[in-house]
Structures are given as C-alpha cells and as structure tokens.
Chains A and B, each alone.
Chain A
Amino acid sequence: MSLAITPATAGRLVVWSRELTGTTTMLRRTIRADRWYWGTWVALLSLLPPITAAAYRETISDDAAGAEITAGLAANSTMRAMLGPPYDLLQVGGFTMWRVGGFVALLAATMAALGVIRATRAEEEPGRLELVRAGAVGRHAPLWAALLLAWAACAALGLIVSASMLALGTPAAGSVAMGLGLLLTGATFAGVGACAAQVSASARTARGIALAAVGAAYLARAVADGSATGSPLQRLGWLSPVQWAAYARPYVGERWWVLLLPAVLAAVLTVVAVRLEAGRDHGAGLRAARPGPPVGSERLRSAGALAWLLERGALGWTLGGLGIFALTMGSLSDVFATVADDPDLAERFRRMGAGAQLLQDAFYVAMIGILVVVIALIGLSFVERLRREEATGRAELMLSTSTSRVALLRAFTVPALGVSLGGAVLCGILLATPAAAREGDPGQVLRLAGAAAAQTPAIALVLGLAVAVHGLAPRARLLPWLVAGWSLIVSWVGAVLGFPQWLLDATPFALLPRLPAEPMAWTPVLAESALAVILYALGAWGYARRDVT
C-alpha cells in the first residue's frame, strides 16, 4: 500500500492543522493559569510512593513477624477492597504499589479529569475562551492545550515516581512499570475529562460526570478485590481503568501488555472528545439548551428556594451515588462469613483489626472512615457554591433584594449540611442492610447508623470551618480543603507513611470514636459538635459584617 497523499487527505490535513492553530499560544496561557493546580497535585501525589517505600522497614519488619503481618494484610478483604490486589508484600516495590499505588492512581485520575475540565469547559462557560477563540486560535486548540498539559503533568508524576523508586533501590523494571501505569491512568482520565467537558454546557455537570466515572471505576475494582477468591465478580476489576496500573504487576513479574489497555483507551477517548467538540457549537453542550418555564413557581420567592432549585439535582445525584456505593460495599460483608470459618485466618485478623471483636466490624469501620471523608469533600463543594455566587455577582443581585446576608448564607449551607450529615447516616444504614437482611438482624442497621452518626461531627466541623473562612477570611478558602484532603490521605494510607502518630491523629475524623470497633466516647463527639456550631456562627457573624465584593 502506498502512502500517496490524495487531494482529499491533503484537504483534511489542512483543515486539521487549521483547527490546531494557536495550540502553543493556548498551551502557554493554560500553563500560566493552571500551574499551581498541576504543580500541587503532582508534588503531593509523587511523594506518597517514595515515602511509603522509605518507611517500609518500619512498617514491616524483616522477620517472621513481618511475614505474618503481610500474610494477614494480603488475606484481609477489607484491605483488598480498599487498596487493590496484593501480589507480593514481602518486598518494598510490591508493597508500595499495593499500599499507595492504587490510591495514587485514583487521585491521578481525579487530578487529570478535573484539570482538563478546568482548562476547557470551566473557561468556556463564563465566556473567557470566546475572547481567545476570536484570535488566531483554532477550534480544538484549547482542548489540545489542556490535554497536552494534563499528559505532561501525568508524565511528570510517572517520571518522579519511577526515578524516586529507582533511587530507593527498587528494581528498574518495576519502577518503570509503576510510573508508566500512573501516567497512563492519568492520561485515560484526562480523556474522560475531555469527553465530559463536551457533554454539558455546565462545568459543574462536567465535573459531576467525570467524578462519577472515577467513582464507578473505583467501585468496580473494590467489588472485584473485596469478593471471595474465585468469585466471578473478581473479573469486574478488568473493567476498571483505575485498576489497570495494579494489574500490570509492577515488581511482581511485570505484565507490560496490560498497559496497552489505558494507552488505547486514552487515545480513543481523546479522539472521541475531539469529534464531539467538532460537532457542537462554542459554549453549547451536545444537546441544545431547552427552554424552561417562563414564570417562576409560587415557591420561588427567597434565597432558600433559589438554593434548593439550584442544588437539588446535584444533591440527589450525590446521595444516590453514595447510597449505591454503601450498599455495594455492604454486600461484600458476606466474605467474612466464609473467612471466619478458617480459625487460623480469623485469629490473625483479630489481632490486626482496630481491636474489633468481629472482622465485619473492622470492615465497617474502614468503609465508614472512607465514606465520611468523601462526604465531607462533597459537602465542601456545595458550600463552595456560596463563594461562586459572590464571585459571579449573583450574591450581589440577591442581596440587593430584602434578603439578609445571614439568610443567603443559610440558604446555601443548610442543605449542604443536611445532605452531608443525613447522607453519612444513610450510608451507615445501607452499609449494614445486606448483612442485616442476610442474618435477619435488624439491630445491625441501627448499630451502623449510630457508628456513622458518631463520625458526623467531623463533617460538620469541616463544613463549619468552610463557613467560618467564607465569613471571616475568604482568602483562606483552601484551608477546609486542606483539612479534608489531609484527612483523606490519613484515613487511606496514613499508617504506612511513617509519620508520627500525633500528625496522623490531627484530623477531626481521627479524634472521634470509631464505632463499633471502639467504645463510644462522648467528649470528642460533643466537643467537635460544639466547635462546628461555633465556627458556623462565627462565619455567619463575619459574613454579615464584611464587604461583599
């Protein structure tokens, strides 16, 4: 077959290159705008594997006791469901990949998807790209610039991880496989973000779609790894792009071909995104904007009604997603029924769990621990809405009516608080439901609802902090995110990072009793609840007194 260029191909090439015009300009602009976003993410994520590897000998001793611990970890369904398949925990590389590799892959996916949306739809929605597109910039230039930057950031992450793991003396092939796996996971979800950015005219919806994809991928692999050995459900893991990096088995007989999966999917998603973008108008989603009601319903007469109308969809989706997650994870708990039959394994687990009498309780504690932090992050994104209302000038419009500052604050924060706190309790209930149904013990449901409720003061504290920051020091808006982000890292991988215990305890979640594994402790629950109320009140007090700009 010859490679002669026909006039038709040449024409397409011309169009193609014309649509790429200005990609370098866009890339420069995007780098300048988003350098902190990518820089922070890459720096934090690339630290986790080397820190874990460096602390390996402190976590797992090089003797029979160490072997005992790793065997216990590998057999523990809770740990598997949370982290991924353990291939070989007796060497640094394999342990690091299992303990933080999957977690870093999951966060790299989140970083890449949100980063691409940030530079494309989130710029297009308020009309900032229009100005750029009016210049000598082709139709796809912003998308390509965003994707190139995302790939570059993922490559940097992969490279730093590979290099630092090499420097720590782990085998070269494994180090490269690990870095490459992270790179390709990120690239795949950059494609997911690029596609999500085309679907809806709203950046918020695009983020929702992308995060739902990340969440679904995590859920699929959690079910696969949490299922009993030999269960057909274990194959579900292959459907999860956040699992492929682990399936490539870095350090444990690398299966390089697995990495073709994310490479191909990344390419396909990129092509799809470009095609979708070619077929839509600037500023529009895939579906033409539909007209809505020409009059407001009788109830639409206050800031509260406005906030409810704006948020109810997203709140509903969030609750639905969390419910599905909790119910699915809850249904994994039957694994423990079979494990408990093996007295040797059961004894090993008992020594490992957070002092839990029952393996199942340890599993519930771990799941609730993850869910409450994720719920706090979601709650923060709703409180964030308040800041966006002010930044866009829509808060000013509402405040020019007889709406008071406090009423506006309440309108946007009370639903966020209600759904977060209620959602946490609901998650506890749904987590317990499968086991309760199986064992005919409805008391389980109440027990886990209580366990989740005991963690809710920390959610309220994080959201209260966000309100306080909004009212008193709006510039420190990253503070609540840092608290919640740190809590997420601690609850997921904190124990293996070799950090001092006081640092690991320095999250609002860690201070609360972890029911049902620990006894109820009223002091931290009441103290954090009171602090949350005080912070909220301070925020409202400050917001009523500061300039609205």
Chain B
Amino acid sequence: MSSTTKQVDALVERGYEHGFVTDIETDVIAPGLDEDVIRFISQRKQEPEWVLEYRLKAFRHWLGMTPPEWSSVHHPQIDFQTISYFAAPKKKPVLESLDQVDPELLRTYEKLGIPLEEQKALSGVAVDAVFDSVSVATTFRKNLADAGVIFCSISEAAREHPALLREYLGSVVPHTDNFYAALNAAVFTDGTFVYIPKGVRCPMELSTYFRINAQNTGQFERTLIVAEEGSHVSYLEGCTAPQRDENQLHAAVVELVAMQDAQIKYSTVQNWYPGDAQGKGGIYNFVTKRGDCRGARSKISWTQVETGSAITWKYPSCLLRGDDSVGEFYSVAVTKGHQQADTGTKMIHLGRNTRSTIVSKGISAGDGQQAYRGLVRMAQRAENARNHTQCDSLLIGDRCAAHTFPYIEVKNPTAKVEHEATTSKIGDDQLFYCRSRGLSEEDAVSLIVNGFCKEIFNELPMEFAVEAQKLLAISLEGAVG
C-alpha cells in the first residue's frame, strides 16, 4: 500500500521497537516514600522552601486518602513503598548545546526516531527532552525568549520564575483533588513550564518527549501552561517507553490556564509499553489533566491519541469559567491484548454562552476493555451554554468490550446538551470488499480504522497525525483473524 504502511510493516516485524534499555548510569534513591524522600527530591532540585512546603502539605494530605475504585479498570493493589521516587542521570551537565549531551542519550533518541538535531534543523519544533526525571537538553530557548515565551522544566521555573510558579502551581488541580494528583504534588520530578505573555502568539509548536527508563521508577511529571490575555500556544506531548517486567506507575498532572481571549491547544500521542501478550508489565497511566478557561472568550482544546499503557485512567477536562469560553476534547483510544482504558473528559460550564465539543473514538481489539466516562455540567449561571458529545466505539473481534458512561448535570434551563453514541464492528464484508480491490487484510483494517478516527487526526498537528496513523497501524497488527 503506501510507503507509510511499508514502514509500519517493517516496524511491526521488529516487535515493540522502543522496548530497549539505555545503558546510562542512573542515580536512583531507594524505594519508599516518606518526608525525608520528599526533602531529598526538593534538595536535589534546588527548590525554594515554599515548594518543599507545598510538597509536604500534599504528602500529608495524601496519607489520609485511598486510591480511587470507581473506574472500571482492574489491577493489583499498588504498593507505593516499593516505588523509587527519584532517578536522575548522574552526569548532569549544564548544557548550552546538544554537543554537551551524553552521546549514549543522543543514540537513545535516535533509536526513538527523534534526533534532536534534525528536529531543530527541519521541523521548527522546540523540544524539551525529558529523560527520566531531569531535563537534559532544551532547544530553541533563544527564539522563544525573544518572543518573551518561557519554556523550561518545572524545576527550573521554581528557581528562576518562582513568583509565576507560585501563583499558578496547583491553581487548577489542587493537591487535594484526587489520590494521584496529591501523590504527584508531593513527589513531582520535572515536567514543563510554559508561560506565554499577553498578546503573544507562540512562534513554534512546543513539544516534550517523555521517556521512562529506570526500573522501578514511577514518573511524576508536572506540566503547567499559562497563556496570558490574547495569547496562543500549541503544545505537543509524545511518549514511548522501554519494555519492562514490572508495572510502572505514571501519575502526571497537567494544568492549563487560559486568560481572556487566550487559546491553548494540547495534543498527546501516547505509546507506552502496554505489557506482553499476557498483559504483564505494562505502564499504569493515571493522569490528571485539567484546563481552566479563566477569561472571557478563552479556548482550551485537548487532543489525544492513546495507544499504549496497560491501564489508562485520564480525563482531560475544561473549566469553562469565562463567558463565551470554549472547551474541546478529541480522543482516540486503542485497547488491545489485555489493555484497559477508562478515559473521557469533564466539561464544567460555569460562564454564559460557554461551548464545549467532545468527540471520542474508542477502538477495542483482542481482550481490550474500554470505557468512555464523561461529565458535562451546566451550572446555574451558564446561560445558553451548549455541549455536543459524540462517542463512537469500534470493535474488532468478539472478546473485547466498549462501554459508555455519560454523566450530564444541567442546572440552567437555557443550556443545551447533546449526546450521540454509536458502536460498530469491523465487518467481514468490509474487509472482503477492500481485499477484493487488492488491499491486504492489514491495510484494509488500517484504512477502516483510520477512516473511523479521521475527525480526531484532523485536529492533530501534521507531524503528529502521521505518527498517530503509524501507531494505530502498529497497535492493531494481528488484531483481525
């Protein structure tokens, strides 16, 4: 079929290509969590005192919480004392250029297909590469600085932009929000801080590549994006992870703040290790993502393509506080093998004339289990608020399942809420039709699935749309028959 598919086939034959382990000395603290560990993290990060206080407050709160059990995912109980909460590459240089990066690390990126140099030269995408928990290379800093944009690791923000961080950290997802958000607030190690000043259109797409690489290390990213009045930013997040025997916990928090007339577009392609054929060893992805449309006419748009992880538990949400503000959620989630996903969104309409759109596409194959869980709340003040939700599931084979749990709360009589849901199956007749025209079965599945997801891919920046199609084709290899 196309050259993309050729590449995909080659990739598929190689198995989970990203399942390698880079041989870099890693500085890991012993498993376990107590106040000393939190002090150690804070000290290693050279954080101001108030950050440590914030962490300790969150930790003390977390001690009194229990893990959520309301979602439809199942996993053995996690022993949080067996996890190591800090890992940093030992050779941690202060970098001015990529030449100073550990060559072993650069080779890792090349295996991942993200050579930083080429990206710098060709794509115009600024990359803040996160390796384990510490940022080791940041590019395009100067271009962004010229525009007044701050794009740095959150630890750096704590040191260099403390006033900004202090104002916004935890202002969208408080440390009391939920079990994993509290844990994250206590132990977060890196992540990204983005600040777009008033009236600035960020001159490039911002991108962070995550990678979890140290055994037994949970990764607790913290991302905060603040878009001041009238500013625009598009942020891309893409992830791969090495193959592991043990479950790896990932509990990130992402907070977005959009002031009046500001727009934030946040795109994710997630391809973490889903576990082996028996479902053993995959990543647990328990993420809290929330955007706050604080100002009038602000807009926050979440787009996600979730193909990896053993368990995905995430609900990127929008608080539509400002009048006429807009929230969007576009999602493709794939579960196959023994993957489980409980994902969706929350659209909380507080302001007048607020609008939200939810388009969720779930694909289940093998023994995959998937639930869409979405809340649309129209508060009393939300005059003329509108929501449209479309929720489609595609089933491949007869052992998988898809469920839809819409929660709708309307307290204003002028609000309009629409919910549409469909479930379909890739039919034998569709496959035969494609094959009788010359397409292989795999290409036929890929064509049908990509057609099903097209609305979402259209929302992704171009390079991510291509990546997403590749991921889908790889994910669904062997799903039929």
* A-B complex is real: no
Measured CB to CB, the residues of B under 8 A from A are none
